[in-house]
Structure 1
Amino acid sequence: MKSLIDNARSFAVTHVADPQHIKAFRALEAGQSPEVLFISCSDSRVVPALITGARPGELFELRTAGNVVPLYPDDNRPTGEAATIEYAVRVLGVRDIVVCGHSHCGAVGAVVRSDDLSAVPAVRGWLEEAVPRHAPVRSVTEVSPDVAEAVQAHAVAQLETLRSYPCVKERLEEGILGLHAWYYEVHTGAVSVHRPEEGHLSFGPL
């Protein structure tokens, strides 16, 4: 914690006040105009700005356990996830949405391995509602340590859920929004992208 506090204390001087960056940070007070809504896992090993090289104001982020996009609420009960997606699309006008899964994902891995999640009922409920609909059914012995196949299938499935959101459906029909599924390897830094034209679960280099 100490190193984080030390960096927070010095951030304004070492970064914001730096002559190379001061104009860019000053411009942020006028508002934001991110190009992309980046949906990723809450996992601490996944750092969207580090992976993409994005600067402040370029990425609008939504982070959830297992990079889950929950179903659009049909009972008029607001959710933070739906609000974030709707705001990004309708207010900020992002042109692309990226759902980024990652290797060694604890959430997806727990589902495909059928781990006992009784000690974390909120986690269990969240994953039961979202992941099993999409995770491939395989025996534990067939699941790779990085659960790559399951994570990739899960990321692609989140795009289908996104298409059910009224704001996303609207922009897709207008041809002004793109949806993308990425897969990030936490131990190598490699990023691959879903290539639907090559197969339902085909991923290749960016």
Structure 2
Amino acid sequence: MTQESLLTKKEILKMMVGFRRFRERYFKEHNHSVYDALATGQSPKTLMIACSDSRVDPAILFSSSPGEIFVVRNVANLVPPFESNMGFHGVSAAIEFAVVNLQVENIVILGHRQCGGIRSLFQPEAVREGGFVQQWMTIAGQAKEKVLKAHPNADLDQHCRECEKTSIVTSIENLRTFPFIDFAIKSRGLQLIGVYFDLEGGQLSFYDDQTDAFRELEISKVQP
């Protein structure tokens, strides 16, 4: 594909215009401060495991600068349990690199409202039968069962909302099955954090492991 034909596509052209703005912001002549510092390597303090949903971009959501967060995105922001067989484990490999090589201090699981992956647990016809998504979502199968047991008379919307949150806790539990994470927690205080973004109301909640519940974060009390 030539550059001329590439730039006839409206969506791609918009992206290229965005890249031009990015260059103007970070690569202006005599103003390379951000990427000059990053050119020799990265040292993010936080690994964030987020959903692939196009509405939930961690860098936008948290106004992060380049180099601040190491991001892994997948369907429904899930973490599989540790497996010792050497298959193709993309999420696990990224987690290992962040914890072992980059020595991150925090792992944040970022879930969100209106997650299509979670909805497919309750509406399996929404995804291809026997496909990759259906298999991947079995990671959250236990979360679904907990929600159905705790809220047997709830409607689909509530089931999805509760499961979006419960699956975050499942992923935190799965993180603890990785030996190198367990070691990092005990040896240097690695923190595991669950966060839920309500994209309908623009609210952020965090998982309180003392009460086993999500509590809305009072943004007005957050000091810069």
Normalised TM-score (structure 2): 0.82
Cross-structure match for 1:6: 17
Cross-structure match for 1:108: 118
Question: Which residue, out of 83, 90, 98, partners 2:93?
Answer: 83
Q: Is the 8 A contact 2:203 2:216 kept in 1?
A: no
Cα distance change of structure 1 residues 98 and 22 upon mapping to structure 2, 3 Å threshold: same
The answer to whether 1:194 aligns with 2:207 is yes
Cross-structure match for 2:81: 71
Spell out, residue by residue over 1:27-84, the C-alpha distance to the aligned partner (whole angstroms, 9 max, x if none).
Answer: 1101100010000000000010111121100100010101011122221324111110
- Partners of 2:22 and 2:212 in 1: how far apart? 44
Question: Which residue, out of 109, 127, 145, partners 1:99?
Answer: 109
Cα distance change of structure 1 residues 167 and 10 upon mapping to structure 2, 3 Å threshold: same
The answer to whether 1:23 aligns with 2:41 is no
1:13-162 to 2 correspondences below 5 Å:
14-18=24-28, 22-118=32-128, 121-128=131-138, 130-135=139-144, 136-137=147-148, 142-144=155-157, 147-162=160-175
Identify unmatched segments of 5+ residues in structure 1.
none
Cα offset, 1:9, TM superposition: 3.9
Between the aligned residues of both structures, percent identity stands at 26
Aligned length: 203
- Partners of 2:130 and 2:28 in 1: how far apart? 44
Question: Which residue, out of 135, 155, 165, partners 2:178?
Answer: 165
Identify unmatched segments of 5+ residues in structure 2.
1-10, 219-224
Cα distance change of structure 1 residues 7 and 120 upon mapping to structure 2, 3 Å threshold: farther
Cα distance change of structure 1 residues 7 and 202 upon mapping to structure 2, 3 Å threshold: closer
Cα offset, 1:169, TM superposition: 0.7
Counterpart secondary structure, 1:86: helix
Normalised TM-score (structure 1): 0.89
Cα distance change of structure 1 residues 20 and 183 upon mapping to structure 2, 3 Å threshold: farther
Counterpart secondary structure, 1:156: helix
Which segment drifts farther, 68-77 or 153-162? 68-77
- Partners of 1:42 and 1:18 in 2: how far apart? 31
Q: Give the aligned residue type for 2:103.
A: G
Q: Give the aligned residue type for 2:79.
A: V
Cα distance change of structure 1 residues 35 and 145 upon mapping to structure 2, 3 Å threshold: same
Superposition RMSD in Å: 2.2
Question: Which residue, out of 196, 209, 224, partners 1:183?
Answer: 196
Cα distance change of structure 1 residues 106 and 37 upon mapping to structure 2, 3 Å threshold: same
Cα offset, 1:109, TM superposition: 1.3
Cα offset, 1:110, TM superposition: 1.4
